Amino acid sequence: MFKLRDLSINFLGLTLENPFILSASPSTDELEMVVRGLESGWAGVILKTTSVEENPVPLKYPMMSSFGNYYRRVIGLGNIDLISKHHIDEIEKRVKILKEKFPEKMIAASIMGSKKEDWQNLVFRLRKANVDLIECSFSCPQGSMGEAPGKMLAQSISATEKVTGWVKEAAENTPVLIKITPQVTDIVEVAKAVKKGGADGITASNTIPSLLGINIYTFEPYPSVFGVSSYSGLSGNAIKPITLRTIAEIKRSVDIVISGNGGAYSSRDAIEIMLVGASNVQFCTLPMVYGFRVIEELKSGLSHYLDEMNLKSPLEIVGKSLEKIKSNEELPLIEVKANIDKDKCIGCDLCFISCNDGGHMAIEIKENRIPEVNIEKCVGCALCMQVCPVDAISMKEKMDEKEVIFNRR
Amino acid sequence: MSDLKGNNILEKMMHEAERCLFCFDAPCEKNCPINLPISNFIHMIRNKNFYGAYEKVRESHPMINIAGFICPEEILCQKECIRSKIDSPVKIRELHNFLTLNFVKNQNLSLSPYKYEDVAIVGGGPASLSCTFFLRTLGYKTHIFTEEDIGGIPFTEISNDRLQKEIVKKDIDFIKDNFIYELNIEKVKSIEGLKKDFKAIFIGIGLGDETKLEIPGIDKDGVFYARKILRDLKNGKEISLGNRIGVIGGGNVAFDVANSLKNRFKEKEVFIIYRRGLKDLKCYPEELERAKNLGVNFYFQSSPIEISGDKKVEGLKVSQVSLKESEREKRRSFELIDKSEFIIPLDNIVVAVGQEIEDGIFPEIEKEDGLIKIDENYMTNLEGVFAGGDCINGGQTVTKAASEGKIAAFKIDEFLRRSK
């Protein structure tokens, strides 16, 4: 009944009907699931990372663990997954089937190899199947078949550049994305190596190496695999801030196309990821937790956002926040004071206790439990604003004669 | 945790705990008569430190098992819950009950050695037991003197529908095992006699007598007083009643009688007969709700005039009354309406119009309005003799009685230290 905005974008020469892609993940590891995903409206798919036949894939189960709260069970999802149990043979067949069934969608595949011949052989076979795009996993934190075993490929600058070169040499005109990890000392150096190696773009980024938790009674880490466990790759909403930082850092220093990945749970999250420089956004944990149907909200949310902002194409927002990201030294010195909206305040006094014990002892309680800011003592740190359960606190910012009210966490 | 299997009570309670804002200087605690550390124990539940939460509750209230079932949270802690300004109050009593039913751990109980002199406690109900509890934690030896075994009203009268005996026993046993130095089951004849042996005495004797209803025909067969019925019901005694039972009164006791009778004898008709109107009722809202759900009937604005019948009750003659807002009292005042009498046909009548302190007990102690008079230090007119519970407040909640016992314990401590 309601028409959506045209959300189509151009991505490395491919036309996508919207900027939302299913990333290489369990959601893209079965043909039937991929078909359902694409039918439900996702613009494209990157099939789960595959490799050559010689590499056996002994997957360990249980594989998943998570943390969250009452309102959202899975805020962070950890997995000890490796790569697809299907080898290139099968993937090649699937690409062909999918290309035929969905000529308008982006059908991409993710690969991982060790030797040069492996990488190039994988690329050749995917090209033969007419794949739209090839993503190379340089960053699976759980296992690596890169140059140095036990280490992620993208953690070595020289290896990143070299392997990117191999892949691009074989891929020729087929676009190549290198999927990197945020777990490096300097993400910009890695991005530069990817660019030097000749890749068309970067997928930033991947899950983050982590340990999801420990059973304090048995000492077993999660997910417990018969009493023992291994490090997990952490995904989900919990890692969104890290993804935003990673993409922003790359985009500010390296001129390269970025496919955003990691932590988006909503259209608003996706918009944020695009605002710091991603041309599109990949999703893995969100559809894993709630199903492919979440594409409805993503499309509708982006469409209404474009309406509100009076913009034509989603690509107009890419990188719009970058000029607002500064180093700490560059930030202005301003006068900030907390401001409590007495009409909204419910008198829980959480602002008082956090300011008193963790801020600057600048909130006092007046009668009827109503807190009041002591302007002399308040430095404007905004801790109170974070803890207020009803968003009754805003920050009044003042520089020269200009005053701004900042009222979002 | 075994009780939790097979349903989602743990999940439910964790979610409920999650709703708590953890207010600073929490208003729920302030509106708890005994100032239970509510925000603190809920914070511990939220962090799955269930035993820590249990200990917090256990050390702050001697009657936690009883309170977990019958505390009127709607008019106490939950009434002040700030969460209700966002949506609805946190279910504090349920969280409390969840702890006391599932996470009992008393093995780390560590009471200081006896340090001070002996204190006498007269009475064995919630106020007395609470006074005992806190005096013991302060290091006093407590000697209880009580007519019947300890427990008081919760153990003997509050209906099984609301509070099972084994729940009460948990609190009683905990106090018996750890806090009482000496238990004497004997009636104290005179306080002066006790004063020879004890420098400080606490009186928590409750209310011994039921307020009599003085209308013609009150002596007919089939008229009972509420507490006898409650005791019989509590003890599972056979009670022979007719088909139509009228309960006169509008307080918690009247409702407890009416509700338990209706619940026990579904086929009988039970009537609450009250002089004033619906909004003047003194019972807890949840008791009224229960009465409605059980199908108890009501006669409001009906003042008993006479019990009719030959030798046995056949009916209650009542007069309709008009109600007026009163300046002196919270409840409305009433006036009989001329020639408005009618007879409610009844087979039995239960009188539940109030209780008073036992007639003539401890004449040396000053009374006021039928209750023991105390000063701001909970001390009676006799030096070193303190009082608390129903005998000073006229009958309120178990938690209120416990809180008075608690305050009195600290006042006794103060008094004894000062008089050294």
How confident is the model over A33-69, as pLDDT tens digits?
999 999 999 999 999 999 987 767 788 999 999 999 8
Average pLDDT over residues A299-314: 96
Instruction: Flag whether pLDDT at B326 surpasses 90.
Output: no
Residues in chain A with CB shorter than 8 Å from the CB of B23 are 347-350
Average pLDDT in the A152-181 region?
94
| Tally of structural domains, chain A | 2
Tell me the angle at which helices A157-171 and A187-197 cross, rounded to the nearest 10 degrees. Answer: 30
Residue B195, classed as helix, strand or coil, is helix
Provide the pLDDT for residue A71: 80
Same domain, B25 and B89: yes
* Backbone angle region of B249, left / alpha / beta, with phi > 0 → left and psi within -120 to 50 → alpha: left
Cβ separation of A389 and B86 shorter than 8 Å?
Answer: yes
pLDDT band at A82 (very low <50, low <70, confident <90, very high): confident
- Whether residue A259 is found in the same domain as residue A366: no
Please tell me whether residues B229 and B301 are part of one structural domain: yes
Distance between A363 CA and the closest CA of chain B, angstroms:
13
Pick the residue from chain A with its C-alpha nearest to B19.
Answer: A70
In a domain, B224, yes or no: yes
pLDDT greater than 80 at residue A149: no
A338 lies in the same domain as A370: yes
B191 plus B321 within the same structural domain: no
Q: Is A134 a residue whose pLDDT tops 60?
A: yes
Indicate whether A364 and A228 sit together in one domain.
Answer: no
User: B321: domain CATH number?
Assistant: 3.50.50.60
- Which CATH number does the domain housing residue A154 bear? 3.20.20.70
Tell me the average pLDDT across A321-337: 95
CATH number (domain holding residue A350): 3.30.70.20
Is residue B52 a part of any domain in this protein? yes
pLDDT of residue B1: 43
Residues B366 and B398 in one domain: yes
Residue A90, both tokens: 């099968």
- A355 assigned to active site: no
Q: Residues B237, B322: one domain?
A: yes
Q: What is the pLDDT of residues A227-244, one digit of tens each?
A: 999 999 999 999 999 999
Tell me the three-class secondary structure of A325-372, residue by residue. Answer: CCCHHHCCCCEEEEEECCCCCCCCCHHHHHHHHHCCCCEEECHHHCEE
Of the candidates B14, B18, B21, the beta carbon closest to that of A348 is on B21
What integer pLDDT is reported at residue A142 of this predicted model?
A: 54
Residue where the block lists tokens 């079965």? A30
Question: Which one of A349, A355, A383 makes the best mutation probe of the B interface by having the most chain B beta carbons within 10 Å?
Answer: A349
Does residue B107 lie within any of the structural domains? Answer: no
- With respect to residue B108, please indicate whether it lies within any of the assigned structural domains: no
Q: Is residue B371 part of a domain?
A: yes
Q: How confident is the model at residue A246 (pLDDT cuts 50, 70, 90)?
A: very high
B21 and A352 within 8 Å at the Cβ level: the answer is no
What confidence tier does A150 reach under pLDDT thresholds 50, 70, 90?
A: low
User: Is A156 within the bounds of a domain?
Assistant: yes
pLDDT at residue number B285: 92
Specify the pLDDT at position A342.
Answer: 94
Looking at the fold, whether A264 and A342 belong to one and the same domain comes out as: no
DSSP class of B179 = T
What ipTM, to 2 d.p.? 0.85
In this complex, the residue of A69, A70, A350 whose CB is nearest that of residue B24 is: A350
A149, A34: one domain: yes
Partners of B368 in the beta sheet?
A: B371
User: B82 contacts in A (CB within 8 Å)?
Assistant: 346-348
A238 and A202 share one domain: yes
Is A1 part of any domain? Answer: no
Q: Which of A100-104, A301-305, B107-111, B125-129 has the lowest mean pLDDT?
A: B107-111
Domain boundary residue, one of B102, B133, B151:
B102
User: pLDDT-derived band of residue A146, with 50, 70 and 90 as boundaries?
Assistant: very low
Inside any domain, residue A144: yes
> Computed from CA positions of residues A109, A112, A116, A117, in that sequence, does the dihedral angle turn out positive or negative?
negative
pLDDT band at B299 (very low <50, low <70, confident <90, very high): very high
Q: Do residues B151 and B85 share a domain?
A: no
Give yes or no: residues A307 and A389 share one domain: no
* pLDDT of A377 strictly over 70: yes
Structure tokens at A329: 């030294």
Mean pLDDT for the stretch of residues B415-419: 92
Residues B199, B220 share a domain: no
Q: Do residues A129 and A174 share a domain?
A: yes
Q: What is the mean pLDDT of chain A?
A: 94
Picking from A69, A352, A353, the nearest residue to B18 by CB comes out as: A69
Please report residues of B whose CB lies closer than 8 A to that of A369.
Answer: 25, 27
Domains contained in chain B, number: 3
The structure tokens listed for A123 are 């690329």
pLDDT tens by residue, A263-302: 999 999 999 999 999 999 999 999 999 999 999 999 999 9
Q: Is residue A209 part of a domain?
A: yes
Confidence of residue A145 (pLDDT cuts 50, 70, 90): very low
For residue B400, the enclosing domain spans: 118-208+357-418
Closest-CA distance, A267 to chain B, in angstroms, reads: 27
User: Across the interface, do B27 and A369 touch by the CB < 8 Å criterion?
Assistant: yes
Residue-number span of the structural domain to which A171 is assigned: 9-324
Arithmetic mean of pLDDT, A29-36? 97
| A353: closest chain B residue by CA | B24
Using an 8 Å CB-CB cutoff, list residues of chain A that contact chain B: 69-70, 346-350, 352-353, 365, 369, 389-390
Domain closes at, from A324, A342, A374: A324
Check CB contact under 8 Å for B21 and A69. no
* Residues of chain A neighbouring B18 (CB-CB closer than 8 A): 69-70
Q: Is residue A2 part of a domain?
A: no
Is A250 found in the same domain as A141? yes
Q: What is the largest CA-CA distance in chain B?
A: 70
Does B241 lie in the same domain as B144? no
**What pLDDT was estimated at residue A16?**
98
Q: Shortest CA distance to B324 belongs to which of B275, B284, B378, B359?
A: B275
B68 and B140 belong to one structural domain:
no
Among A300, A324, A348, identify where a domain stops. A324
Residues from chain A contacting residue B86 (CB–CB below 8 Å):
346, 389-390
Q: Is A338 within the bounds of a domain?
A: yes
pLDDT digits (tens, 9 = 90+) for B193-250: 999 999 999 999 999 888 999 999 999 999 999 999 999 999 888 888 999 999 999 9
Instruction: Name, in order, each residue with C-beta under 8 angstroms of A16's C-beta and a sequence gap of 6 or more.
Output: A8, A9, A10, A43, A44, A106, A280
pLDDT band at B263 (very low <50, low <70, confident <90, very high): very high
Domain identity same for B242 and B314: yes
pTM exceeding 0.95: no
Together in a domain, B75 and B204:
no
Domain boundary among A306, A324, A342: A324
Residue B361, in any domain of the structure: yes
Place of tokens 């208003």: B27
pLDDT digits (tens, 9 = 90+) for B341-352: 999 999 999 999
Give me the residue from A69, A347, A353 closest to B82, CB to CB.
Answer: A347
Find the range with the poorest average confidence among A338-347, A397-406, B23-32: A397-406
CA A371/CA A350 separation, integer angstroms: 9
Q: Are residues B223 and B341 in the same domain?
A: yes
A249 and A307 in a single domain? The answer is yes
Q: How far is A70 from chain B (nearest CA, A)?
A: 6
Determine, yes or no, domain membership for A225. Answer: yes
B46 vs chain A: nearest CA distance in angstroms? Answer: 10
pLDDT in tens, B151-185: 999 999 999 999 999 999 999 999 999 999 999 99
Quote the tokens at residue B289: 């709700």
Last residue of a domain, one of B52, B71, B102: B102
pLDDT tens per residue, range B73-101:
999 999 999 999 999 999 999 999 999 99
With an 8 Å Cβ cutoff, the interface of chain B facing chain A consists of 14-15, 18, 21-25, 27, 82, 85-86
The answer as to whether A3 is a domain residue is: no
DSSP secondary structure of B14-35: HHHHHH----TT-HHHHTSTT-
* Claim to verify: residue A284 and residue A372 sit in the same structural domain: no
Identify whether residues A246 and A130 lie together within a single domain: yes
Distances (CA, A) of B204 to A72, A153, B138: 51, 78, 19
Q: Which residue out of B11, B13, B82, B86 would a mutagenesis test of the A interface target, given it has the greatest number of A Cβ atoms within 10 Å?
A: B82
Catalytic hit among A136, A140, A284, A345: A140
Tokens of A220: 């077993």
Residue A144 has pLDDT above 70, yes or no: no
Given this model, what pLDDT does residue A403 score?
Answer: 87
Beta bridge partners of A335: A398
Residue among B10, B24, B30 with most chain A CBs within 10 A, to mutate: B24
Between CA B181 and CA B277 the distance in angstroms is 48
